[in-house]
Amino acid sequence: MKTLEELKVVRESMEGEVALRTHGNASSKYERHVLVCGGTGCTSSGSPKIIAKLKEELAANGLSDKVQIVKTGCFGLCERGPIMIVYPEDSFYSRVNVDEIPRIVKEHLVDGNPVKEFLYEETVVGDEIKALDDTAFYKKQHRVALRNCGVIDPENINEYIGRDGYRALGKVLTEMKPEDVIQTVLDSGLRGRGGGGFPTGMKWKLARNIVPDADIKYVCCNADEGDPGAFMDRSVLEGDPHVVLEAMTIAGYAIGATHGYIYVRAEYPIAVERLNIAIKQAREAGMLGEDIFGTGFSFDIDLRLGAGAFVCGEETALMTSIEGNRGEPRPRPPFPAEKGLFQKPTVLNNVETYANIPQIILNGAEWFASMGTEKSKGTKVFALGGKIKNTGLVEIPMGTTLREVIEEIGGGIPNGKKFKAAQTGGPSGGCIPAEHFDIPIDYDNLISIGSMMGSGGLIVMDEDNCMVDIAKFFLEFTVDESCGKCTPCRIGTKRMWEILDKITKGKGTLEDLDKLEELAYHVKSNSLCGLGQTAPNPVLSTLKCFKDEYIAHVVDKKCPAGVCKDLLSFEIIKDNCFGCGMCARQCPASAITVTDYTAPGKKKPAYSIDKDKCVKCGACIATCKFKAIIKK
C-alpha cells in the first residue's frame, strides 16, 4: 500500500466485512462473525479458552469456512465479561464460559436460534432480542475515541483500513498544508484528554512556530496511565492501536517532526504486544517510514516502556525517562514545544487525545465541535468503577450529567445503597458529593466544585465509604509515587499522610485539621510538577464537602462509615445470640468467649467479645447467621 489507490482498494475489499458488525446488511464471505473480547479484563476471565473452544466446535460442525472468529479489544461492559457477540444478529452473550460454547454453536450458529438464557439479560424482552445499542449502558454513549474498540481485530491492519483507517493521513498529506491541519484541530475545540485540558491545536501550533528552524522535532504519546482504577488508554491501545499511529503521524506532519515515541507502561503487556504488531504492519504497508504515500514526508515511531512510575505521567518526567534518565520533572518554562525531548521542540498528547484526531480530519472541525459544551467539545472516555453495577468503559458527550452516568449508564449503586461521592481524576482529582449529582461533566464545571476531569477515572462511592480513609488512600499513593526531587512534595505529602493516619486512628485533634489544610495549600502552591501540585486535591475536596466526617473522627472518635478499624468496636447482642459458637471458632484472636449469661428463652449460653483482644477483622460478623453481632 505505497499509494492512496492501493489503500483505497484494501479499504473497499474490507468494508463489507467490518460493516457486517455495525449495521448487519453488508456483504461478507462469512455467514456470521463471532466477536470475542480480547481485552485485559476478558482475557483474565478466560476469553482465550473460549476462542479455542469456538474453533474446535466450529470445525466439528463444519462451520470453519462459514463463521469468522474475531478477537477484538474491549467492548466496554467489563462487568459482564467474558463477552461474545454474534453478527449479523447482534446477539450479546455475557459472562460466557467454555461449557456454554457447544450449545451456542449448535443452537445458534447451526440452527439459527440464539440461546436466550446466555444472552445479556437487558437485550432479551419477551420473545424479542433487542440491539445492544438499545440497552441502558450503551444508548447514551457516543463513541469517537472508542469507535473501533470491540469492532475490529486490532492485530489486523486491513480491518482498521476497512473502517476508514489511514484515510485521514492520506487526506492530510495530499490535500492539506500543515497550517490547515493545525487550524482544523484548533477549530474543533479538542482539549488534551490527559488531565490538563490544554487546547491540542494550540500545543501543535506552538511546536511548529516557536522554533521554526529546528533541525529535528518529536511527537510523543503519553500511554503511561497510572491512576488507580483507570484503564481508558490501555483499552484504546489494546482495541485500536493503529488510530494512535495514524494520529501521531498526522501530528508529525503538522509540526514538522520526523520521529515519534510512544511511552507505555510495561504493566500493559497486551497493549505493548499489539502496538509492536501495529508498528510492524504499518511499516510494511508504507504507513510509517520513508516517503509515505509518495509525498516525500517521512515519519517513524518507536516504543519506550515505562517501569511504572506515576510521576512519568508528567510530560517533562516522561521525556526525561525516554532519554534514558531517572524519570524526574523539569522546571517549566521552557515548555516542551520549545525544548522537550532531547531539548528539541516536542508535542506530547495522551492516547485518547490522539484517538480523536483522524475522525476530526475526516468529518471536520464543526462536526466535533457540535458535540459537548461551549468550552469542552467532543466526548470523554471514563473508566467507571467502584460501587457501581456496570463497571466498565464509557464514552459520553461532554456535558452529560453525573447522575446520567451513574444511574442510567452505570446501572446505579448495588444493594440499595445511597450514592455518596464520585472521585474523578484519581490521586490528582477531587470528590464530587451527592449535592452535585446533577452537574454536567466538563472541564470547567468540575474545577468549579474542587474536582477535575483528570485522564478519566471515575470511582463511585456509597454510604459505606469513609471519605477520610479515601483521602488517606490517595495521598498514600502519591507519597509512594513522589520522585522526591522537590521538598514540598517529598516532605509535605508525607506529613499530610501522617496527620490523616493519626486522625483515622482516633488520635487527631481539631488543630490537626487546621494544620492539614494549611499544609495542603503549601504543597499545592510550591511543588515543582503536577503530581505535587495536585496531590492535596483529594484532601482539600473531602475537607470541604465532608468536614463533618473529619470532625466525627477527631471529636467523637467515631468513623461514621465504620471503616477505620481503630475507631470501631464489635458487640454481640445477647438477646439475639443462639450460642452456636461459630463466631468464636472463626475468631483469629480468640477474643470471643462464653459468658455466664444465658439469653432468655435460649438453652445455649451466649457469647461476648473481649474488646482488648479483638483485632477488628470482622470475621465474626461475616460468620453469624443470626445478625447478633453489630459494628459500632
Assign residue 607 the CATH number of its domain: 3.30.70.20
Residues 186 and 321 in one domain: yes
Identify whether residues 220 and 340 lie together within a single domain.
Answer: yes
CA–CA separation, 394 vs 140, rounded Å? Answer: 9
CATH of the domain at 81: 3.40.30.10
Given a cut of 90, whether residue 454 has pLDDT beyond it is no
Q: pLDDT (tens digit, 9 = 90+) per residue, 352-361?
A: 999 999 999 9
DSSP classification of residue 406 = I
Residue ranges making up the domain that contains 119: 31-131
* Mean pLDDT taken over the chain: 93
Residues 410 and 428 in one domain: yes
Burial per residue of 146-178, b for 16 or more beta-carbon CB atoms within 10 angstroms, e otherwise: bbbbbbbbbbbbbbbbbbbbbbbbbbbbeebeb
Same domain, 163 and 287: yes
Does 2 reside within a domain? no
Lowest mean per-residue pLDDT among 8-17, 232-241, 291-300: 8-17
Q: Report yes or no on 562 lying in a domain.
A: no
274 in a structural domain: yes
3-state class of 81 per DSSP? Answer: coil
Is residue 561, in this structure, part of any structural domain at all? Answer: no
Domain final position from 437, 462, 487: 462
* CATH classification at residue 394: 3.10.20.600
Domain shared by 218 and 89, yes or no: no
Considering the domain architecture, whether residues 442 and 480 belong to the same structural domain is answered as no
Residue 210 sits in the same domain as residue 79: no
Residue reference for cell 490544554: 198
Considering the chain, what percentage of its residues have pLDDT values greater than 70?
Answer: 98
**Of 438, 462, 486, the domain-final residue:** 462
Reported as a single tens digit per residue, the pLDDT across 295-334 is: 999 999 999 999 889 999 999 999 999 999 999 999 999 9
Q: Tell me phi and psi for residue 582, to 5 degrees.
A: -65, -40
In a domain? residue 21? no
Same domain assignment for residues 95 and 35: yes
Ranges 111-125, 210-224, 356-370, 600-614: which has the least confidence: 600-614
- pLDDT of 21 > 90? The answer is no
Task: State what percent of residues in the chain have pLDDT above 90.
Answer: 78
Let me know if residue 560 belongs to a domain: no
Does residue 597 register a pLDDT over 80?
A: no
Whether residue 331 is found in the same domain as residue 207:
yes
Domain tally, the chain? 5
- Sorted by sequence, the CB contacts under 8 Å of residue 358 that are 6+ apart come out as 164, 165, 167, 168, 169, 243, 246, 247, 250
The answer on 161 and 89 residing in a single domain is no
Residue 318: inside a domain: yes
The helix, strand and coil proportions of the chain, stated in percent and rounded to the nearest 5, come to 45, 15, 40
Domain for residue 148, yes or no?
A: no
Q: Are residues 194 and 320 in the same domain?
A: yes
Question: What CATH number does residue 207 fall under?
Answer: 3.40.50.11540
- For the stretch 466-523, pLDDT in tens is 999 999 999 999 999 999 999 999 999 999 999 999 999 999 999 999 999 999 999 9
Whichever domain contains 542, its CATH number is 1.20.1440.230
- CA 193/CA 354 separation, integer angstroms: 9
**171 and 239 inside one domain:** yes
pLDDT at residue 599 in the model: 53
